[in-house]
Amino acid sequence: MQKQTVFAIASCAGFAATALAGGDFVLGDGNSTATFSPDQGQIDWNVDGVNQLFTQEFYIRRSTDTQELRVDSINFNNVGNFATDTNGFTDTRDDAFGSLFTDGNGLEIETLFTLRGNTAGSNSSSLAEVITLRNTSSSSMTLSFFQFVDFDLGTFFSDDSGEIVNGNTAFQYDGGSSILSETATTPSPDLFQMGNGVSLRAMLADGSIDDLDGTAAFAGDVGWAFQWNITLAAGDSFLISKNKTLVPTPGSMMLLGTAGLLASRRRRS
């Protein structure tokens, strides 16, 4: 999806950015809400009164960088945000949120999230995501793009287990109460890693160059990340399309037996 499409539609249709006092944007649909911060990424996903998400963040490393940088309004220029209702005939709350960031040197990072809730008590919800990386400069650029996710299913972070299947689908389970699946559909990531959420997030923010190691299963405070290694020609763009789904776990599903390191939760920063 092109930048001019997303933001021109938002402008022409009169979509207003509806931020809270602290600058956060809250989407709502059916039994679900999701909160986004230009400085911290996605900071919650509440389904039937239970917050299932600790954080979701995006990171970029360009060929000239000596570390991964979180995509936020601290490291990049936040050109604009918008929120809108895409299914007003069933729910009049804003259910889609878009942001555009630039580095001032031709790299644009556009994100678009669309929340779909379900009936009350269903404990199910989905979140569609489209990320577009665009090179508006006159020279090619090489970069790595990372998505980091840390879900705390059922509000507790120490009793989850998960696996990455086929290199592009992450499953996370929680004590027989809920399951989350995410598929990176367009295209599959080049690298992936599942592990302790606190440690994995710290690795991406440690001030050095890191690549994901292919670990595919973990139990405990589960987190995971996907990595795309990209070369963008001048004027070119790269689109990633993904979908996350929260659904109840069938009673017969067995949790993974992988042993994992438990760690205390840190505050977002």
As a whole number, mean pLDDT of residues 205-234 equals: 97
The pLDDT value given to residue 268: 53
Percent of the chain with pLDDT over 90: 73
The pLDDT value given to residue 91: 85
As a whole number, mean pLDDT of residues 49-68 equals: 96
Percent of the chain with pLDDT over 70: 84
The pLDDT value given to residue 2: 37
pLDDT over threshold 90, residue 179: no
As a whole number, mean pLDDT of residues 209-224 equals: 97
CATH class, 3-247 region: mainly beta
Prediction pTM value: 0.86
The pLDDT value given to residue 22: 53
Least confident of 62-66, 100-104, 178-182, 205-209: 178-182
The pLDDT value given to residue 240: 97
The pLDDT value given to residue 260: 32
pLDDT over threshold 90, residue 199: yes
Give residue-wise pLDDT tens across range 115-141.
Answer: 999 999 999 999 999 999 999 999 999
Rounded-to-integer distance, Cα 107 and Cα 77, Å? 10
Query: Looking at the DSSP assignment, which residues form a beta bridge with residue 164?
Result: 170
Contacts of 244 (CB under 8 A, 6+ apart): 126, 127, 129, 180, 181, 182
Give residue-wise pLDDT tens across range 85-115.
Answer: 999 878 889 999 999 999 999 999 999 999 9
Query: Tokens 């994901």 identify what position?
Result: 212
The pLDDT value given to residue 1: 34
The pLDDT value given to residue 269: 57
Stronger pLDDT, 14 or 165, i.e. the higher one: 165
Is the CA virtual torsion 187, 188, 189, 195 positive or negative? positive
